[in-house]
A and B are shown apart, each in its own frame.
Chain A
Amino acid sequence: MPKNGSVLIIGAGIVGMKAGLMLAGASKKVHLVEKLPIIGGKVIKNEESFPNMECSTCMVAPVQQEVLQNPNIETYTYSDVESLSGSKGCYEVVIRRKARYISLVNCIGCGMCYDPCPVSIPNMWEENLMDMKAVYVPTAGSLPNVPVIDSSKCLHLNGTQECNLCVESCVFDAIDLNDSDEVVTVEVEAVLIASGSGLFDLSALPNLGYGDLSAVYSPLEFERLFASNGPTQGELTLRGSDISPERIAIIHCAGRSEVGYCSTVCCMYSFKFVRFLLHKLPEARIYDLYLDICVPGKSYQNFFTTLGEGSTTMLFTPSLEDVCVTESDSALRISYPDTSGESRELDVDMVILTAAIVPDSDLPELARIAGVELDKFGFIKRTDEGSGSTETTKAGIFAAGTVTGPGDIQRSVIQGESAAGQIMELMSTIDGEKV
């Protein structure tokens, strides 16, 4: 296969987008594949990012826009990589573009089709905290701002009835209910996997009550609850009610000993949550139940110390395994051993668990398709990680961001830039010789 100057990037989060823009800027053709209907990744789920408390969407939107407008980047949203074969320097990739039923060219994102749709389904992007229609964009501000139709829920597409309400509502002729999947084959010289990570399944910790007790929240649920473009428009109210919590506890390190590593970002987002809470509920009492405070790097500790005296009550517990959350008469009761090992109780209205970062549930399958090995924690292994390389166990395939293990935005971006550099190096060599 001749050298065609093309690269495949899997995952259009901040890492994939930034690396894609770098490579596109160097006149490489980038095929950017994203499984969701929108690009932007996990960062845009956060209203604000630590440590500068910057508006995340404002930080990412220009990057998203640039990606969509860059003539050297072919973006495949709502798409999966089905197969990847070949070796270093020449890979053949089969990409399945799932039927979207809405034209990316004709649709201008006016949103006129949502109201007429008679089907409501839980919105997973919003952590199921709200419903959406069967024709939907995952969240306000989605890019590309073009909806997609859930074919299993749409009455027309699942054969329940001849519903054409969305088609009738569209003045741009953008909806085509006969749309079908499209399979595209491309040839690339190198591959970058930047498909991100998942969160520890909190229901595996029954002592903490997640899933059973409605006032116990995962960190992403809380992020969306706080988000001004989220399910409550940023109103901090308890699930299923319009009551704001008065006492909130954040329990650190949920899943840390189960996964066997410290995820390093949870302390930081916990303190971000404290800021959120102080901002929206200044009267609230906040507690942080913790074992260690992990705030590595030059700018993180300051984020914690500048919270100020009395903003949150730091409760040290030597044994997080012995922490228990149960229902009490009026709210939730947390029992925990204190510094001296004595059992204590704390009544609160809301509990937020800081869950460990774990490999995405789709990663084993993707790794199988790509033929790359995973490390003992289930993240993508790099052959020469010790010297900062991003190359996986398969030559010509690189990995960056939290698909390689927990990390913050900075480190993920740095990995993406490194990968872009390694891909440039690879592409400038012929038979291993630099040109």
Chain B
Amino acid sequence: MKAKVGVYVCECGPNIAGKTDLDEIITYLSEFRGFGDVELVVRKYGFLCSNQGKEYLEKEIRDLGLTHLVVGACSPRDHDSTFKDVCGKTQLNPYLYKIINIREHCTWVIDDMDKATEKAKSYLRAGIARVLYQSELFESPIDVNPDVLVIGGGVAGMEAALALAGENRSVTIVEKNDTLGGRAGKLRGFSFQEFNKPEQVEKLIETILGNPCINVFLDSEVTSVIGFLGNFEIEHVSLESKVITELFCGSIITATGADLYETTEESGFKYSESDDVYNSMEITEMLSSGDEITLRSGKEPETIAIVHCVGREELGYCSGVCCTVMMKTANMIKARYPDIRITQFYRDICLPPSGGQELYAAARSSGVNFVKVQSTGLSGTTVKFKEKNGDEGEQFFDMVLLASALVPSKDTPALSELLGIPVDETGFFQEAHRMTNPSATTTDGVFIVGTSQGPRNISDSMLFARASAGQILTKLLVGEKLVPEVAVTEILEAYCTGCGNCLDVCVYGAIYPDEARGISIVNEAICRGCGNCYGSCPSGALRTKHFTNIQLFREVDEALR
């Protein structure tokens, strides 16, 4: 069929019409013979984006039987989708249309009318050249599975499960330990906020276990993950019986928590197991159990040192929760044992939650001593410190509490590999976008919540969990299909040498090797058409639909003619 390209130039009031010679452009393009026997229909219109304009365009496409469409108008940011929608109402495939920005790129930036006219001509020529090489592309919606896998049964994982589970959506929790509750479960309500009642975690566990839409696998680990948003295939294994269970789901929430920084001799914290030195987890467990605070000798301590920022410098980040925990710890000890003398060695007081400042003020007014230091070290239960003003000192205490940093859980690297989601410079899972999309990852459908994403307190971990639930509830709707990206990359088998360059650069994990055939394969349901692989291929085997070499070269050729 002979191509018949419609070229419609929008006047945009005086914005385009007043600053270019539109009649000259129309005459020039109508008489242009550079495209062989392609028939060109070149017309102008007042406001193509107006309702009348859209109707006019729709009628033209139909009545003239256009095979391709070029619209010379504004930025694609403004109206690309407008004209794509117009095509969608006609016989013309939207991928056979192109918008050319002759407003922002020509008339708004060039004062000289002749120059603006010339530039607009070359842009429009380039658009026609490109559109002739574009191909029809079709969206193909796919069925999705609304079910969810939650890895980790701590408070974050449980909260997410509870928010998601319903009659039409089942949730499976896979937990490696033999109980639900995670770290918060051990603290039995020792959270910095008073709203967390001691029995809250137990209640949450009960609710989870009683929910018919939530399946819990304890003592289990996920061993295999394949698939993509909407269609994942999972295998998890019971650590005890070694029984492998298969699971199908549409999304995955990683709620695997964090560990505490382990002190080493190199970091200046030398003590042996028999010393009365405890980390924040140990002391909070002791406090929340209601047990007496005693030294290993059985005696009650007279002096306690709280050493802040343990690991902060080595790790390069502030965990943001330790100060508040230690203020609460000091206050609880003071309330029960007013005679114990407590000294806090701190670098900075960092109290992100709004209640933290009050806990700090309470600690100060209850007689807790605060020493601002530049550095600290430990030898047994003797604290060595350098004060802010440079003075150095050493002081013996009966008991020492370490505010140790939170570090990525040791399962993180293996999970990162398994799920195909990267970790960042701190070793925690990396977000899709740190600020604007923090619970998602670069793999669509895989979410990171709680302390697996970064150090934070219990209520913020649960907040994160609910955020991932929000993403899933709004993305994977029961009974609705998903439309994957259409302009994806494909690999031409004949050219592919299976070198694997493309696998390394694909941030979405959309390419996998087909070892039997010695080539790489793109999973089109995952590919977003970013083009990273396209540039990495040494043999020219890759082709990104809608951005092919010939399309780009013809466009550039014509623009520079």
Q: Is A421 an interface residue (CB 8 A)?
A: yes
Bound state CA distance, A299 and B427, in angstroms? 11
Contacts of A34 in B (CB 8 A): none
Binds A, one of B9-17, B219-227, B284-292: B9-17
Q: Is the CB of A305 within 8 A of B436?
A: no
Q: Is B388 an interface residue (CB 8 A)?
A: yes
Binds A, one of B57-65, B456-464, B491-499, B537-545: B456-464
Main secondary structure of the interface of B (DSSP, over half): loop
Shortest beta-carbon distance from B79 to chain A in Å: 9
Q: Is the CB of A418 within 8 A of B435?
A: no
Q: Which B residues between 124 and 156 are near A, CB-CB below 8 angstroms?
A: 155
Interface string of B161-180 (1 = CB under 8 A from A): 00100111000000000000
Binds B, one of A219-227, A238-246, A290-298: A290-298
Q: Is B441 an interface residue (CB 8 A)?
A: no
Q: Which of B312, B357, B456, B459 contacts A260 (CB 8 A)?
A: B357
Q: Which B residues between 343 and 393 are near A, CB-CB below 8 angstroms?
A: 347-352, 354-358, 372, 388-389
Q: Which A residues between 292 and 317 are near B, CB-CB below 8 angstroms?
A: 292-302, 305, 316
Q: Is the CB of A171 within 8 A of B474?
A: no
Q: Is B522 an interface residue (CB 8 A)?
A: no
Q: Is the CB of A386 within 8 A of B196?
A: yes
Bound state CA distance, A264 and B77, in angstroms? 36
Q: Is B501 an interface residue (CB 8 A)?
A: no
Q: Is the CB of B459 within 8 A of A305?
A: no
Binds A, one of B298-306, B316-324, B510-518: B316-324
Q: Is B471 an interface residue (CB 8 A)?
A: yes
Bound state CA distance, A386 and B351, in angstroms? 16
Q: Is the CB of A302 within 8 A of B436?
A: no
Q: Is A424 an interface residue (CB 8 A)?
A: yes
Q: Which A residues between 404 and 430 are near B, CB-CB below 8 angstroms?
A: 405-406, 408-411, 413-415, 417-422, 424-425, 428
Contacts of B473 in A (CB 8 A): 26, 420-421, 424-425
Binds B, one of A48-56, A91-99, A321-329: A48-56
Shortest beta-carbon distance from A17 to chain B in Å: 10
Q: Is A27 an interface residue (CB 8 A)?
A: yes
Bound state CA distance, A129 and B455, in angstroms? 39
Q: Is the CB of A22 within 8 A of B435?
A: no
Bound state CA distance, A52 and B193, in angstroms? 31
26 contacts between A and B (CB under 8 A): A18-B436, A22-B474, A22-B475, A260-B357, A294-B352, A295-B350, A296-B352, A296-B455, A297-B317, A297-B320, A297-B454, A297-B456, A298-B317, A300-B317, A316-B372, A385-B459, A386-B458, A387-B200, A387-B462, A406-B354, A409-B436, A411-B460, A414-B438, A421-B466, A421-B471, A425-B163
B residues with CB within 8 A of A? 12-15, 77, 81, 155, 159, 163, 166-168, 191, 193-196, 200, 204, 312, 316-321, 347-352, 354-358, 372, 388-389, 424-426, 428, 434-439, 454-456, 458-475, 477
A residues with CB within 8 A of B? 14, 18, 22-23, 25-27, 49, 51-52, 54, 59, 63, 65, 69, 108, 110, 171-172, 256, 260-262, 264, 292-302, 305, 316, 318, 339-340, 375, 377, 379, 384-390, 405-406, 408-411, 413-415, 417-422, 424-425, 428, 434-435
